[in-house]
Structure 1
Amino acid sequence: MKLALIGFGRMGKAIEKIALNRQHNILLKSIFCPTYKDLKNVEVAIEFSHPEFAFANIKICLEENISVISGTTGWLFKMEEIKNICLRNSGTFLYASNFSIGVNLFIEISRKFAKLIKSYKKEYEVEIEEIHHVNKKDVPSGTAIKLAKFLIKEGIAKKWVLGKKKQYQLAISSKRFKNSPGIHVVKYQSVIENIIFKHTALKREGFALGAIIAAEWINYKKGIFSMKDVLEID
């Protein structure tokens, strides 16, 4: 594939290494919003930038009929507009708050468990914890919010809050440390037992590999997709 890496920070550099090892061509590496000229001949853009710039980055790629993979969090209030731009241009767009294959399977297992336990929700206190590196801009993480949303959808709680919860609320604890690629925990606690689901990222390369796999999968397809499509999760 002919790739553009938009947002060439630590994640972009990890993606570059894996992309080259898998024999892909990188035509553009940019920390700024690309121009139409910059994107010439690009087939797939992989966008890991900053919430402030994500919308403009994705928009210009879709308008140039370039497939876009985005993992930038913190801008999703504009997601519907991006979906409309994608459909209007018969484009291709895939968004994930987390591209780790393990995280996406962890999310799916957590979702299915929530369906199983919802009949007994009064017996358990539920909380989410996420830990990331100090440079992560959004709090809580996009993955933690995704976990919270399906717990709310299943009726486990009415809404999520950052910090200590009140009645019918789901508490999300967010912590930032110097060298933590990412930890997500969903805890169910009762007077008789604790049930804990946990995913720990050991290296940034896991996220980068998932992004490349998604880009390989999406190439030549049309539409709006997620990692559930890539991993064939029902």
Structure 2
Amino acid sequence: MNIALLGYGKMGKAIEQIALKRGHNIVIKADVGTTYNITDADVAIDFSIPSVAFSNISKCLNNGVPVISGTTGWLEDYDNAVALCNEKKGAFISASNFSLGVNIFFELNKNLAKMMSNLAQYKVRLEEIHHTQKLDAPSGTAITLANGIIKNHSSFDKWVLDSKEDNAVPIVAKRIENVPGTHTVKYESDIDFIEMKHHAHNREGFALGAVIAAEWIIGKTGVFTMNDVLNIG
């Protein structure tokens, strides 16, 4: 499989190592301003920056190249990407986190929210910690977790960052040097608390998930999620 890496930072380099170990070829390594022919690739993996993600995705879809995007902070254009994918009969996956463990964590989070929905004595709090180079806050993973709570718990209709509001899931975002990613969901009452946590030791889990998604999407048409790739949820 010939892979285009759209974004060749730390994640791009981690994906490259995993892909090579799994027998694939890296035919494009692109950063902002790089000139390339996307049709040289069988599939593209985008871990770029928010300002260019939609442009990268559009270029792939317009040229019949399936695209996996792990860039966050660009989702105001997500519906446009979906419409373009459907128009071009392409293949597209966007995920806030490609880690296999995190996607299992997403499903556990939804189920716990359903169980806690009628227990008003428990107050929820969501915390995310990432390295200081991360550009967006809260993380896309934290937003996915918050939306999972909102959709499955009767008390919430939005999330808020670093504040508290009625009917809102509070998210605390921290930036600490050399932390790949830690996410915690906590329900606390006056007598006890329930806590779920996912802690990434390094970037390899994110990279492996992205490569597995790229392998899976070849030959398919449509807009998919990691639940489709992993057959969960």
Both structures adopt the same fold (TM-score exceeding 0.5): yes
- Residue in 2 that maps onto 1:182: 181
Aligned to 2:133: 135
Cα distance between partner residues in 2 of 1:96 and 1:112: 20
Letter in structure 2 aligned against 1:142: G
Structure 2 equivalent of residue 4 of structure 1: 4
Q: What are structure 2's unaligned runs of at least 5 residues?
A: none
Instruction: Specify the SS of the correspondent of 1:178.
Output: coil
Moved over 4 A (4+): none
The Cα of 1:211 is off from its aligned counterpart by: 0.3
Aligned residue type for 2:25? N
- Percent identical pairs in the alignment equals 51
Q: Check whether the contact 2:106–2:148 (CA below 8 A) recurs between aligned residues.
A: no
User: In structure 1, what is the Cα distance between the partners aligned to 2:155 and 2:220?
Assistant: 36
Matches within 5 A, 1:1-234: 1-32=1-32, 38-120=37-119, 122-154=120-152, 155-234=154-233
Conservation of the 8 A alpha-carbon contact between 1:127 and 1:171: yes
- Tell me the secondary structure at the aligned position of residue 123 of structure 1: coil
Whichever residue aligns with residue 148 of structure 1, its letter is A
Q: Provide the TM-score with structure 2 as the length reference.
A: 0.97
Matched to 1:31, the amino acid is D
Q: CA RMSD in A?
A: 1.1
- Runs of 5+ consecutive residues of structure 1 not aligned to the other structure: none
Secondary structure at the residue paired with 1:32? coil
**1:196 to partner: Cα distance:** 0.1
What's the CA shift for 1:160? 1.0
Shift of 1:177: 0.8
The question of whether the paired residues in 2 share the 8 Å contact of 1:98 and 1:143 is answered with yes
Asked whether the equivalents of residues 116 and 122 of structure 2 are also in contact (C-alpha less than 8 Å), the reply is no
In 2, distance between residues paired with 1:166 and 1:84?
34
Q: State the distance in 2 between where 1:26 and 1:106 align.
A: 30
**Partners of 2:76 and 2:157 in 1: CA distance:** 20
Residue-pair matches, total: 232
Q: CA deviation at 1:13?
A: 0.1
1:205 Cα deviation after fit:
0.7
Distance 1:125 1:108 in 2: 20
C-alpha deviation, 1:30, in angstroms: 0.6
Instruction: Tell whether the 8 Å contact from 1:34 to 1:57 is kept in structure 2 after alignment.
Output: no
Q: CA deviation at 1:169?
A: 2.0
How far did 1:33 drift?
Answer: 5.9
Q: CA offset at residue 166 of structure 1? A: 2.4
Distance 1:102 1:56 in 2: 29
Q: Is residue 45–residue 67 contact of structure 1 (8 Å, CA) maintained in 2?
A: yes
Secondary structure of 1:148's counterpart equals helix
3-state SS of paired residue (1:195): strand
3-state DSSP of counterpart to 2:97: coil
8 Å contact from structure 1 (residues 158, 168) kept in 2: yes
Are 2:109 and 2:148, in contact at CA under 8 Å, matched by a contact in 1? no
Which stretch shifts more, 149-158 or 135-144? 149-158
Deviation of the 1:41 alpha carbon: 2.6
CA distance in 2, matches of 1:24, 1:150: 34
